[in-house]
Structure 1
Amino acid sequence: MVKILFRCIPLFLIIILLSSCTNQQREGVYFLSLMGESENWNVTGYEILITPDEFKAGHGILKMKSKQEYITNFFHFETHVVINNEDLVIHSGSTSGLDIDIAEEFIGTIEGGAYFNDNGKPISPNDISEIYMIVEWWDSSNHVDVKERIDLYSSPEDDETFLKR
Structure 2
Amino acid sequence: MDKKSIGLVILVIVVAAATWWFNQDDNDQSNHYYVFNLDGESENWDLNQYKVEFVPTSHTAGGGTLHFNGERGPIVDSLNFQTYALVDGVEVTLQSESIHEPLDASTVNIGFVDNNVFKPNGDPVMFQDIEKIHAEIEWPGASGEYQTEEIVLYELRKK
Normalising by structure 2, report the TM-score.
0.75
How many residues in Structure 1 have an aligned counterpart in Structure 2? 133
**Structure 1 match to 2:112:** 109
- Unpaired segments ≥5 residues, structure 1: 1-19, 159-165
Q: Aligned-pair RMSD on alpha carbons?
A: 2.2
Contact 1:36 1:151 in 2 (8 A): yes
CA separation of 1:101 and 1:55: change in aligned 2, threshold 3 A: same
Contact 2:29 2:56 in 1 (8 A): no
**Structure 2 match to 1:126:** 128
The CA distance in 2 between the partners of 1:69 and 1:116, in whole Å, is: 38
Letter in 2 for 1:47: K
Larger-Rg structure: 2
Following TM superposition, by how much is the alpha carbon of 1:85 offset from its aligned partner in structure 2, in angstroms?
Answer: 0.3
Following TM superposition, by how much is the alpha carbon of 1:88 offset from its aligned partner in structure 2, in angstroms?
Answer: 1.5
Following TM superposition, by how much is the alpha carbon of 1:121 offset from its aligned partner in structure 2, in angstroms?
Answer: 3.2
**Structure 1 match to 2:97:** 93
**Structure 2 match to 1:42:** 46
Q: How does 1:1-165 map to 2 (within 5 A)?
A: 27-97=31-101, 99-116=102-119, 118=121, 120-139=122-141, 141-158=142-159
User: 4+ residue stretches of structure 1 with deviation over 4 A?
Assistant: none
Following TM superposition, by how much is the alpha carbon of 1:130 offset from its aligned partner in structure 2, in angstroms?
Answer: 0.8
The CA distance in 1 between the partners of 2:38 and 2:77, in whole Å, is: 28
Letter in 2 for 1:60: G
The sequence identity of aligned pairs, in percent, is: 26
CA separation of 1:103 and 1:130: change in aligned 2, threshold 3 A: same
CA separation of 1:125 and 1:25: change in aligned 2, threshold 3 A: closer
Contact 2:84 2:93 in 1 (8 A): yes
**Structure 1 match to 2:13:** none
The CA distance in 2 between the partners of 1:69 and 1:83, in whole Å, is: 33
Instruction: Give the 3-state SS of the residue equivalent to 1:122 in structure 2.
Output: coil
The CA distance in 2 between the partners of 1:40 and 1:144, in whole Å, is: 15
The CA distance in 1 between the partners of 2:52 and 2:64, in whole Å, is: 10
Following TM superposition, by how much is the alpha carbon of 1:26 offset from its aligned partner in structure 2, in angstroms?
Answer: 8.3
- Unpaired segments ≥5 residues, structure 2: 1-19, 21-27
